Copies of this chain bind each other. A is one copy, B any other.
Amino acid sequence: MTHRIVVIGADAAGMSAAHQALRAARRVGREISVLAFEATSHTSYSACGLPYWVAGHVDSPEDLVARTVEEHRAAGIELRMGTRVTAVDLEARTVTAEGPAGVEEFGYDDVVIATGAAPVVPDWARGEDSAPIVGSGAVTTLDEGREWVERLKTRGDVLVAGGGYIGLEMVEAALARGHRCTLLTRGRFMHSLDPEMGRRVVDAMRRAGVDVREDAEVIGLDVEAGRVAGARTADGQRVPADLVVLALGLSPRTEMVADQLPLGQHRGLLPDARGRADADRSVWAAGDCCEVRHRLLGEPRFLPLGTHANKLGRALGDNLGDPASQLTFDGALGTSITRFVGGEEYLEIAMTGLTEEVAVEAGLDVLASTLEGTTASGYMPEAEPIAIRVVAERGTRRLLGVQIVGGHGAGKRVDAAAAVLWSGGTVDDLAWMDLAYAPPFATSWEVLSVAARRVAERL
């Protein structure tokens, strides 16, 4: 009998799993069927691309769609669009789905939970109908993206609430569309970086004319004539604004199974390296509804990123389609990259591993140091400033993390550091290994290695 797989959610994780399950099953001559449910009208789109669409760098929302509904179906996936799974019974192995065809119940042999994450929208940002107040909204779906494209066609000042990557990218988008922009953040801006590195980003934003206010938690919105008119902060500031971006983070969509499965600190599901959230009951999970194992901390962290969704989804699918599969997702390093573009300012921002702050919190004995250098040989026109912060463990000399803020070509340098972290290497490895040099691309002793060497010499 055909083995029936149900996938809940048809974005990166769910569809990676579905396609790979079909490939793996074909490989071993196993018969499986995949039935996938998607609550929205879109599949497999790049949420990370939304701010660039809003900024005007991407022409059309179709460009953001990696694989269309038709492509999924052509691969043999039965895909129900606009159909929300409202309940899963892990004991009975059934899902209840509500869509154009009404309410139906489906049995399964294996279920994949790939419900993603929802933007945090506090009560103060909601109107009486519980929808976000007119003129405000998050930017996590194609529909929300389209709203922002429209909103930024009108004149008006933009206020961004939230000091993470999406907040930064929406500031870039607002500036690109010619709006004045204020950013309010509860604590420190870019708190995923150590303070002195985050400071460099704040300075660049201010030079580009952005009013950045830290320690300014938004606790309410002012409403006039049914539209947002400004924000109030915990420390009593009132900031007028015509549009308010809610970039307050994400939370895993796990309500439906919260009483049936263990959840992590951020209420994410906790699949193993093969994607099994509950092996006895044939429950699998991947993507932003999960926490992923941080290789350095050895514990789950909520790192909602398409990269992990794709990888765990693929490993999961392989194991689902072929029970003898050896493919595993061996954890994340917290590697990330973004940029800030505004006025004359251009900054690439990247990190991998642990910041000094996080390492100290984790009880590690660390040494951290920041080096300033250039992205190319100093005499070349390509040379731009770059600051690199290296964090290492005393005693073991283990590399713990690298943060980078700099000009063109700065950010992706973080990948070499990520590779060292992946192998459990030392700061000496990063300092002495053979990295690429030519004058347009690097200094003759690569700046990333010099930064590591400086720490190595002081350990």
Contacts and interface: CB of A to CB of B under 8 A. Distances in A.
Interface of A: 12, 46, 48-49, 52, 57-59, 63-64, 66, 165, 295, 305-308, 310-311, 329-339, 348, 350, 352, 377-381, 409, 411-420, 422-423, 425, 429-430, 432-442, 444-446, 448
A377 B46 contact: yes
A436 B412 contact: yes
Contact of A420 (B165, B423, B432, B435): B423
Given A46-B379, A339-B441, A422-B429, 4 more contacts: A58-B380, A306-B437, A307-B434, A415-B415
A381 B52 CA distance: 10
Contacts of A66: 444
Contacts of A444: 12, 46, 48, 66, 306-307, 310
Nearest to A12: B444
A437 B307 contact: yes
3 residue pairs, one from A and one from B, having the closest CB atoms: A419-B419, A63-B379, A423-B423
A436 B379 contact: no
A378 B60 CA distance: 12
B49 A445 contact: no
Contact of A57 (B52, B381, B412): B381
Residue among A165, A350, A379, A434 with the highest chain B CB neighbour number at 10 A:
A434
Contacts of A352: 434, 436
Contact of A58 (B310, B338, B379): B379
Nearest to A309: B444
Residue among A310, A420, A422, A448 with the highest chain B CB neighbour number at 10 A:
A422
Contact of A422 (B333, B335, B412, B434): B434
A206 to B, nearest CB: 22
A237 to B, nearest CB: 31
A441 B439 CA distance: 21
A310 B453 CA distance: 13
